[in-house]
Amino acid sequence: MNKLYLLLILLISQSIYAQNDKAVTNEFIITGKVKTERTVTLSDLRHFPAISINDINTSCTPKKEERTKSVKAVLLKNVLDSVRFDYVEKRDLGHYYFLFVSADDYKIVFSFNEIYNTEIGNNLYIVTELDGKKIEDLDSRVLVLSTKDIRGGSRNIKGLSKIVVCKAE
């Protein structure tokens, strides 16, 4: 009986610390505190400048590392810049944060200042190609990578379905 409880606890803890492998999306919505909601498709991502990143961890869990030799990606803040945030005074943006939600309801958070005023934001990407495979052919689409976090993989998210722009009250 104790072994059964131990097995149950192990299974539950695995699901708490890792994202579901089956989350796949073809678009995501930027919603919340924006003037106009925007749907970003895989095709839309091709219109943003892409950069190449070599030898990077693309895992969506800090428990295991998945090294990828070649990644092409767009800077996330370039995509966020394609919408206008809904605020009264510019200083209000310091109270904003972004809730990233995947198709399997996995969630991660970044603050406005973190994305726009730190190196994290200069290293936060949406993957458009992984080891030569285009985004349409990836099982992990839409994949967001945060390459400067201390614990790699802890804020990577696959199957991105929406980014909710929120204001801390």
Cβ distance 97 to 119 under 8 Å? no
pLDDT for 126: 95
Strands (E), 66-106: 67-75, 96-102
Residue 100: the pLDDT is 98
CATH 3.90.420.10 fits 2-167, yes or no: yes
Question: Which strand (E) or helix (H) includes residue 117?
Answer: helix 112-117
pLDDT at 3: 46
- Residue 68 CB: number of other CB atoms within 10 A? 16
pTM of the model: 0.81
Taking only the tens of pLDDT, the chain with its 169 residues reads 544 444 344 444 444 444 445 568 999 999 999 999 999 999 999 999 999 998 777 767 777 777 778 889 999 999 999 999 999 999 999 999 999 999 999 999 999 999 999 999 999 999 999 888 888 888 888 999 988 887 777 788 999 999 999 999 8
| For the chain, domain boundaries | 2-167
Q: 153: number of CA atoms within 13 Å, CB side?
A: 16
pLDDT at 125 (0 to 100): 96
Pairing mode of beta strands 67-75, 124-130: antiparallel
pLDDT of res. 64: 76
- DSSP character for 122? G
The residues that bridge with 73 in the sheet, in sequence order, are 51, 127
pLDDT of amino acid 74: 98
Residue 82 tokens, joined:
């394609």
